[in-house]
Structures are given as structure tokens and as C-alpha cells.
Amino acid sequence: MKTYNVYIAGVGGQGVVRTSIIIGLACFKKGVNVVMSEIHGMAQRGGSVPAEMKIGDAYSPIIEKGGADLLISFEPAESLRAMGKLSKDTVAVINTQPIIPVTVALGTSVYLDPKTYIDELRSKLKRVVVLDAESMAREAGNILSLNMVMLGASSATPGFPVEKEFLVAAMKENLPAKAIDANLRAFDMGFELAEKELQ
């Protein structure tokens, strides 16, 4: 009955929804039940975009307070924004590259040193994997494959319920054919880095 709950945080345009679709589709291909909730429309325009999913037998994809097994965060401040869904046992995979909202230059809000948000989570969660997914994506050949670096890293965390073969099959169905090599490289780079960090 225990489900595996994934919360994905980021900013509109970073590929949050695409990543969650790929994870869900991979579970489906493996034959595991999955339900997922996405946010479309106005909220996607550069705002905070959360996607959440439950893998296993659940009716609703909405995760309870402190109920996330895994946080995949594409952005440092957004990872902390997810805190209501996180407990000390949540595993977090966090991209270090910040996206500074326009409110900061306008002086209506403050963006701290990105490390501050990550350190805050490190102090509260047992396991945190931190990576510069943007640089890794660039190295893999396409800055747009940042989300696949994050996916690769996430899939290396303990308890992640779906294997690479299913994820790759789902990626092939969801990503442009001409970008698939860069995306697979990005996935592997993320996976290897997370494996090393977790040791």
C-alpha cells in the first residue's frame, strides 16, 4: 500500500512537467501504477511550477504534508519552497543554478546566496544530492537537457522505483529524436554524479 511519492519543483519553462511525464511513463512501461498532477496555464509563465506524483496504488497524486520520498528541484529557492511536502527522510536532488525572479531587481524581494537555501535543506534532510545541472547539460551538448541531468541523478537515489531501461524508453517517446543523444549523455552524467555523491 505504501506509495513512492515524488515532488518536482522548478520554474515555468525548465522542463518540470516534461520530466514528470517521463517518470510517469517509465513507471507505466514497467507496469507500475502511477498518478500525477500537473499545473498548466498562467501558473507556468515563469512562476513556481510544482508537479507531484504517487507511484503505487493511490487514488490521488497530491502528496500529504511531509510525505515526499523524493524531491527533484530544478532551482535552489524552489527546493525550499517545497518544504511543506518534505520530511527529514526525503531524499533531495537539487540543481545549484538559480533563476533570479524579476522581483529581486525591483527590490520587492530578496534572493539569498543560492547556497543558503541548499545548506538549509542539507541541515534538515538526511540525504541531499547537489549538482550544477546546467553546466553538465552544456557539457552533454545541449543546455535544454538540464532536466535529463536531473532525472539521471534522481534515478540513482536509493528507493527510486523505476530502472534506467524504462526511463530511456520513456525519454525516446517524449524528446525530439535529434536531441536524444545529448539527453542520454546528460542522463548518464547526472546518474554518475549522484552515485558518487551518495557513496
Partner 1 sequence: MSDILTAKPGSKLYLLGNEAVVRGALENGISVAATYPGTPSSEIGDVFMDVAKDAGMYFEFSTNEKVALEVAAAAAASGLRSFVWMKHVGMNVASDSFMSIAYTKIRAGMVVLSADDPTMWSSQNEQDSRWYARLGNAPVLEPSNPQEMKDLMKYAFEISEKSGLAVLMRTTTRISHMRGVVTVGEVHVGKKKGEFVKEPSRFLPMPAQAYAAHKRIIETLADLVHDADTSPWNKVYGKGGKLGIITSGPTFNYAMDVVNEYDLKADVLKLTFTYPFPEKLVLDFVKNHEAILVAEEVDPIMEKEIFAILGKNGVIGKIYGKLDGTMPMAYEYSTDILKAAISKALGITLPEKTAITSDLKLPVRPPVWCPGCPHRGMYYATRKAVENLGIGNVIYPTDIGCYSLSATPPYQMADYLLSMGSSIGLASGLAVATDQKIVGFIGDSTFFHAGIPPLVNAVHAAVKMVIVVLDNRITGMTGGQPNPGMPLNGMGEVAPEVSIEAVAKAIGVGFVKSVDPANLAAAQAVMEEALGFDGVAVVIARHPCVMIKSKEKSAKQKLVFTVNKATCDKCMLCVTRFACPAMFIGEDGVVAIDEALCNGCGVCVQICPQKAIGVRR
As given in the structure block, the three cell numbers for residue 10 are 522548478
35 binds partner 1 (CB under 8 A): yes
CB 148 to partner 1: min, Å: 14
DSSP 11-73: BTTSSHHHHHHHHHHHHHHHT--EEEE---GGGGSSSB--EEEEESS-S--PPPTT--SEEEE
101 binds partner 1 (CB under 8 A): yes
CB 27 to partner 1: min, Å: 8
176 binds partner 1 (CB under 8 A): yes
- Tell me the per-residue interface mask from 111 to 130 with partner 1, x by CB under 8 A, - otherwise: xx---xx--xx--xx-----
Options 9, 58, 129, 162; binder of partner 1; rule CB under 8 A: 58
Options 6, 70, 77, 151; binder of partner 1; rule CB under 8 A: 77
Q: Residue 199: which residues within 8 A CB-CB, separation 6 or more?
A: none
23 binds partner 1 (CB under 8 A): no
CB 42 to partner 1: min, Å: 4
3-state secondary structure (DSSP) of residue 74: coil
